[in-house]
Amino acid sequence: MFGIIRPCRNRLGPELRESWMAHLCGLCLALRDDHGHMARLVTNYDGLVISALVEAQVGAQSGRTRRAAGPCALRGMQSADVAVGTGARLAATVSLVLASAKVGDHVSDGDGVFASAPMRGVGRQVARRWAAQASATGLDLGFDTAVLVDAVRRQSSVEAAAGLGSSVLLVTEPTETASGEAVAQTAVLAGRPGNAEPLREVGRLFGRMAHLLDAVEDLEEDRASGSWNPLSATGTTVDEARRLCDDAALGIKLALKEVEFADDRLVHVLLVHEVQESIRRAFGEGHGHGAHEGPRLHTPPPPPGWQPAPGMYPPPAPYGQQPGPHRGSTPPPGHVPPPSAPGHGGPPQPPTGGKGRKKRGGEPLRPGSGLWFWPKLKEPPVRRGAILGCLAVLYQCGTCQQCCRDPFPGPFSGKPNGTCGDCSCPDCSGCSGCDCSC
């Protein structure tokens, strides 16, 4: 699993979280059905946006865009509704083409596992097979994958021609072109050709931003190893990269407003809120939990001898009570009291982790069901020694907990890990075309 869009389950909310997982599982199963089990390795978070865009334009229709899938180890042996149809197949095709090109690049460079001649031969065969399979599926969908292959092949020559003083946008152009054509194809599959141009702009700007964020995240490592990096090669500063990413994010938001959707809630959260979160994360502005508070203003200190006016600040609430209006005061009309925290005057709320699906009878699944029964999430966390910790690592890898269970307990620390953990991010699932900054 990889990608720049890694949404927090709290920001998505239960309904959109379930929809997001449906597209992720749908992409994985489309890769399996069309290209074999090995192709499932290229399942990625960004690729599912293609599937989500198709469904957002046609609307979720039972039997046409979703189907019930049986138990899967990647879901802890739980069943689920998954996305199907042309959207999932297009997402699989695009993911496979790009993965084929990436494997080919690693083979040419002799990187990692492809350092030896036998492995390079295997890599070439895999890359050729994936490219051929993706091309066949693309033609079946009316999409010529040659535009993606051509863009990827041009990347090496574009990078070779770039130098100090060159625009970094010259380097990102092949990625922009490939992403733009893939996203524009969703309008064709959805039967909304008028959406093609604004969606092409969405894809182009998303490709630019993804390329720049990848360069920013790899900058220090590339400098240390002497590897090529578009920022170092063109002399582009990190501040300039941030400006370009912010401009791209704004452009995506404006272009989405020109697209006709049947239901744009998920794509709005992914391509507006989560894109902004990805930028903050890449540039080291927090993990996203609290990063949506916006820039912090620095207030100058008060002058010497200053004292607050009487009544300016309410007295602190006694320990164990929620801060709020003075005791005995009448709350304003429409006031809704905040929920009580566990151990502070109210019953603890049930956990909302896991996959958001329902058991029979409507009881929500808890993290730790199916094949994910162990290790369990406990409060306070239970640490494990070297032997149990190593067993937990092997078991979690074998049942894909570290990529699909959210949150999953740390094998040694027992603490919750994942795209969210135990955060207090606001629920942005009701946002659509909004101007909020959560």
How large is the greatest C-alpha to C-alpha distance in the chain, in angstroms? 80
Provide the residue ranges of all domains of the chain, joining segments of one domain with +: 9-289, 370-417
pLDDT of residue 180: 95
pLDDT (mean) for 203-214: 95
pTM beyond 0.85, yes or no? no
Percentage of residues in the chain with pLDDT exceeding 70? 70
Position 388 pLDDT exceeds 70: yes
Q: Which of 19-33, 100-114, 390-404 has the highest mean pLDDT?
A: 19-33
More confident residue, 331 or 348: 331
Residue 278: strand, helix, or coil = helix
Position 358 pLDDT exceeds 80: no
CA 273, CA 123: separation in Å to the nearest integer? Answer: 37
pLDDT of residue 317: 45
More confident residue, 129 or 308: 129
pLDDT (mean) for 154-181: 92
User: What is the per-residue pLDDT across 243-277, written as a single tens digit (0 to 9) for each?
Assistant: 999 999 999 999 999 999 999 999 999 999 999 99
Position 433 pLDDT exceeds 70: no
The second-level CATH assignment, the architecture, of 9-289 is: Orthogonal Bundle (1.10)
CA 25, CA 51: separation in Å to the nearest integer? Answer: 11
- Per-residue pLDDT band for 59 (boundaries 50, 70, 90) equals confident
CA 314, CA 323: separation in Å to the nearest integer? Answer: 9
Q: Give every CB contact of residue 239 below 8 A, 6+ residues apart in sequence.
A: none
pLDDT of residue 377: 74
pLDDT (mean) for 368-380: 69
Range in 38-47, 135-144, 372-381 with the lowest mean pLDDT? 372-381
Position 193 pLDDT exceeds 70: yes
Range in 90-94, 262-266, 369-373 with the lowest mean pLDDT? 369-373
pLDDT (mean) for 297-319: 46
User: What is the per-residue pLDDT across 220-235, written as a single tens digit (0 to 9) for each?
Assistant: 998 998 888 999 999 9
Residue 408: strand, helix, or coil = strand
409 forms bridges with which residues in the sheet? 416
Mean pLDDT, rounded, of the chain: 77
pLDDT of residue 263: 93
CA 100, CA 107: separation in Å to the nearest integer? Answer: 11
More confident residue, 140 or 313: 140
pLDDT of residue 365: 44
pLDDT of residue 369: 57
pLDDT (mean) for 31-36: 90
Range in 24-28, 157-161, 324-328 with the lowest mean pLDDT? 324-328
Alpha-carbon torsion, ordered 382, 388, 391, 395, to 10 deg: -20
pLDDT of residue 373: 63
227: buried, middle or exposed (CB in 10 Å: 19+, 13-18, 0-12)?
Answer: exposed
CA 263, CA 265: separation in Å to the nearest integer? Answer: 6
CA 152, CA 149: separation in Å to the nearest integer? Answer: 5
Q: Give every CB contact of residue 5 below 8 A, 6+ residues apart in sequence.
A: 45, 46, 49, 270, 274, 275, 278
